[in-house]
Amino acid sequence: MPPTVVKSRPAHRCSECGATSPRWVGRCPECQAWGTLAEVGGGASGGLRTVAPGPVTGRARPIAQVELEGSRAVPTGIGEFDRVLGGGLVPGAVLLVAGEPGVGKSTLLLEVAHRVAESNGPTLVVSGEESAAQVRLRAERIGALHPHLFLAAETELSAVLSHVEEVNPSLLVLDSVQTVRSPAVDGTDGGATQVRAVASALTGVAKARGMTVILVGHVTKDGAIAGPRALEHLVDVVISFDGERHSTLRLVRATKNRFGPADEIGCFEIGDGGVVGVPDPSHLFVSKRAAPVAGSSVTVTMEGSRPLLAEVQALVATNNGGGSPRRAVSGLDPQRLAMINAVVERRGGVPLGGSDVFAASVGGVRILEPAADMAVALAIASSAKDKALPVGMVAFGEVGLSGEVRRVGGIGRRLAEAARQGYTLAVVPPDPGPVPRGLRVVEVPDLGALLNRLF
């Protein structure tokens, strides 16, 4: 007996944001747009209907017999970008790259398209935000001109598909997905319905042709990817491009990756010659000074499989203006800093109740993992006591509310990176394992005992 499916009741969907409502209302309850809800699904007859077996795209085979040759990653030639992707671009994959305006997304992807054109055949860059001449000027500036790199400026999906048929590229870069509209669906340009339709159409073309597609997406003022959440579920890889406007450092992170690790990070520097990868970025996050100063400590943080040295700075100042003491943070977790303040004061005997505490990371890097707790605590205590920490010292370990120091992952790689960078003393949790040559390790089971010993 064939399976039965209960027919759903009619629903109403907003053409602007995609929200659904069980009944029609004049104003969308999600995006507050007027007259955008239309009936979808359901039917007038109601009742039950049967679902019969239909045609299949291919026979089911044992998993060991599935071919892999068409799904091997092809390196782009940009090491930091390939690290984030897990080896390179996979044929038929769809990537979503998002970042704030002016951060360097278009420049980096133009360089990626240039490298792929050199090594893997024709590539196509479609710009919906800039004219072809503007993109050409950027390509000349960064040296990305190549006869196999094709360029078009379009805002209609049908025109984009025509270019794909003509060029037959191995890589398509669409900048950006919010500027292209599909005439087959209603909705305003850049709205949820249009973005979903354009992404779905290009995903189908990518899978059918074995063509890699990179979609550039906008972000909201909170830093989240703009558009419907379904867009992130639809693509294979989601990459965020972060960076401060006043800094040349750019960080590329993969928040979703079906072909590799989703926690790797790539480091780039942006300049007159474009976006350049930084294979050894530890020196970017540590200050260079002739003599040590109070309130500064160095930790080793893990970004995916990569250990990075990062400096944490703290300033403890007496609050003479009255009112509640200030707690200002940059690059660290504010809630975790408040907890470490309490542990340092209660377990370490460092008075902080009447002082303002400011803490920040160096170089614009964000340090959110608990392994940096010990370095933050040492920086706060060092500033409060106005006494610098020993030269050449790194510290890492998670700090608990009772003052105990807990183990963290990747201790061996953290110690190896500290020794490679020339540090000679490491303050770590108990039982760190093998110690690299030239590095002295001090095991600390309790934060209070460490602070009493140092200060």
Structure tokens at 102: 């002016």
Q: Identify whether residues 388 and 439 lie together within a single domain.
A: yes
Please indicate, yes or no, if residue 61 is contained in any of the structural domains.
no
Q: Identify whether residues 96 and 26 lie together within a single domain.
A: no
Please indicate, yes or no, if residue 54 is contained in any of the structural domains.
no
Q: Identify whether residues 89 and 194 lie together within a single domain.
A: yes
- Consult the annotation and say whether 387 binds a ligand: no
What is the reported pLDDT for 405? Answer: 95
Q: Identify whether residues 29 and 87 lie together within a single domain.
A: no
Q: Identify whether residues 339 and 394 lie together within a single domain.
A: yes
Please indicate, yes or no, if residue 258 is contained in any of the structural domains.
yes
pTM: 0.78
Please indicate, yes or no, if residue 59 is contained in any of the structural domains.
no
What is the reported pLDDT for 230? Answer: 79
Q: Identify whether residues 298 and 370 lie together within a single domain.
A: yes
Please indicate, yes or no, if residue 352 is contained in any of the structural domains.
yes
- Consult the annotation and say whether 35 binds a ligand: no
What is the reported pLDDT for 187? Answer: 79
Q: How many domains does the chain have?
A: 3
- Consult the annotation and say whether 99 binds a ligand: yes
Sheet holding 393-395, edge to edge: 327-330, 355-361, 306-318, 296-303, 393-395, 425-428, 440-443
Please indicate, yes or no, if residue 62 is contained in any of the structural domains.
no
What is the reported pLDDT for 261? Answer: 84
Q: Identify whether residues 300 and 262 lie together within a single domain.
A: no
- Consult the annotation and say whether 391 binds a ligand: no
Please indicate, yes or no, if residue 313 is contained in any of the structural domains.
yes
- Consult the annotation and say whether 281 binds a ligand: no
Q: Identify whether residues 288 and 275 lie together within a single domain.
A: no
What is the reported pLDDT for 42? Answer: 52
Q: Identify whether residues 327 and 267 lie together within a single domain.
A: no
**Domain, as residue range, for 35:** 11-40
DSSP 35-101: S-EEEES--SS-SEEE------SS----GGGS--GGG--B--S-HHHHHHHTSSBPTT-EEEEEE-T
End residue of a domain, out of 279, 294, 314: 279
Q: Identify whether residues 387 and 409 lie together within a single domain.
A: yes
* Secondary structure (3-state) at 406: strand
- Consult the annotation and say whether 158 binds a ligand: no
Tens of pLDDT along the chain (455 residues) come to 455 544 456 678 887 777 788 888 888 887 777 878 888 765 444 445 677 888 887 788 898 888 877 678 899 999 999 999 989 999 999 999 998 888 889 999 999 999 999 999 999 999 999 999 999 999 999 999 999 999 999 999 999 999 999 999 999 999 989 999 998 888 788 888 899 999 999 999 999 999 999 999 988 877 778 777 778 889 999 999 887 767 788 889 899 999 888 878 898 988 877 888 888 888 788 888 778 899 999 999 998 788 999 999 999 998 877 678 889 999 999 999 999 999 999 999 999 988 999 999 988 788 989 999 999 999 999 999 999 999 999 999 999 999 999 999 999 999 999 999 999 999 999 998 899 999 999 999 999 999 988 88
Nearest CA to 265 among 393, 139, 123, 364? 364
- Consult the annotation and say whether 10 binds a ligand: no
Q: Identify whether residues 96 and 243 lie together within a single domain.
A: yes
- Consult the annotation and say whether 324 binds a ligand: no
